[in-house]
Chain A
């Protein structure tokens, strides 16, 4: 038994909005792999829950009319990894979420929950930042869309307003087109562990594969919320592709990031692995894009 005050199961997105307005103190539960664990720990004990888990309309991945990838917020990690559209246009996201927890956690955990709980270590978050994903929220006033970096306000706090639920995450065509990415999760063990640092890079090369047209990099656990490293991106954008460029790019991330000391790792160690991960992820992305190094 969970120590729960009441459970409200939503029947539609509209019903979710109504229940959110009627019970403003209630906690939304999607897959529950964070919420139910926190309830067991006592952190969320005695709370009311609004379960949106039954909303199958929020599952699945499609291309919208502008060919943006649209990921329903309740799509599980394992379904993202196996999805043909993800494999074709944004394979790195499938690879990143394939490193969350273990197999059973990836069957229950949702991308909406992973982003709405606002933690910096979320394995999906760095890739979503690196692809400039857009978060779709549905509330009493209709649908609101905002860039994912604006969605994260501070550690554990996202811009989810009164009556709202997150209904989708979009990856713009402008971000994924002709772009290849790689994610490096640094953790103590291969399964059932939280990232000490997560690094997601993606690269678009010129037609002759010799110049970096556009590069993006984002980190998890390099600051209180997931973050892009824009100075490092500027150092690589428009430059001829080379191993030296990868090294310059990687060192520049230290001007962007602000990791902390924690029991998992020291600040100095996180800085060290940030540089190394950035270099490896950049080189791998460039290779996937057809670059010769």
Chain B
């Protein structure tokens, strides 16, 4: 195999509200960097080809599969992972609590990805129909097939944040 020079680059970005800097191998995916350099182990390695959504993170408020995103592209961005949702003393956020209440978790592997997409949905401040929510959540696979419970958890939190009772 042909040998070539290792190539590194300094990346500065904001991770869960904190400015950080790292020298990364340019071949790294954002998943690689978040897990290996920052110990953000909520970012799961699933399919690694952008199909399952387990590695989903929020970049400047939008959901991205970090497995098909170059680590060097993080430069200058605001990135949020599940770890960033916890309160100062490790309290769960409302959407995490709703996942617990609705038993929207079985093995838990898809959960961080689903929750971060839910955060993007909830932060829009809009009310969505069930059909719209299903479409917005469709970039995630749950192999324990807990989709109905997940949908309920998101819907419940959406109505709580809107300050309205959930329609029956």
With known contacts A1-B25, A37-B50, A192–B68 Cβ distance under 8 A: no
Which listed residue, A1, A46, A104, touches B32 by the CB 8 Å rule? A1
Asked whether any CB of chain B lies closer than 8 Å to the CB of A89, the reply is no
Asked if A240 CB lies within 8 Å of chain B CBs, one says no
- Among B50, B72, B73: residue with most chain A CB under 10 A: B50
The listed residue (B7, B49, B50, B68) touching A6 by CB distance below 8 A is B7
- Determine the chain B residues whose CB is within 8 A of the CB of A37 once the complex forms: 49-50, 68
B102 within 8 A of A: no
Chain A hits for B117, CB < 8 A: 103-104
Question: Would you call A192 and B138 a contact (CB within 8 A)?
Answer: yes
- In residues 31-60 of chain A, which contact B (Cβ within 8 Å)? 32-33, 36-37, 40-41, 46, 51, 53-54
Contact in complex: B72, A104 (CB < 8 Å):
no
B112 interfacial contact with A, CB 8 Å? no
Category for how many chain B residues contact A:
20 to 34
Q: Is A268 an interface residue (CB 8 A)?
A: no
- Give B1-40 interface residues, CB cut-off 8 Å to A: 2, 4-5, 7, 25-29, 32
Which secondary structure characterizes the binding site on chain A?
Answer: mixed
Which residues of the other chain, B, contact A191 by a CB distance below 8 angstroms? 135, 138-139
Residue B103 lies at the interface, judged by CB distance under 8 Å to chain A: no
User: Can you identify 25 A-B contacts, CB atoms within 8 angstroms?
Assistant: A2-B29, A2-B70, A3-B27, A5-B4, A7-B7, A7-B27, A29-B70, A32-B70, A36-B69, A37-B49, A37-B50, A41-B49, A51-B73, A101-B50, A101-B139, A103-B117, A103-B138, A104-B56, A104-B64, A105-B50, A105-B65, A107-B64, A190-B135, A190-B138, A192-B51
Q: Which B residues lie at the A interface, using CB under 8 A?
A: 2, 4-5, 7, 25-29, 32, 48-51, 53, 56, 62-65, 68-70, 72-73, 117, 135-140
Known: A9-B72, A103-B137, A190-B135. 14 other contacts (CB 8 A): A1-B25, A1-B28, A2-B27, A6-B7, A7-B72, A32-B70, A36-B70, A40-B48, A53-B73, A102-B138, A103-B136, A104-B56, A104-B64, A104-B65
Chain A interface residues toward B at CB < 8 A = 1-7, 9, 29, 32-33, 36-37, 40-41, 46, 51, 53-54, 78, 101-105, 107-108, 190-192
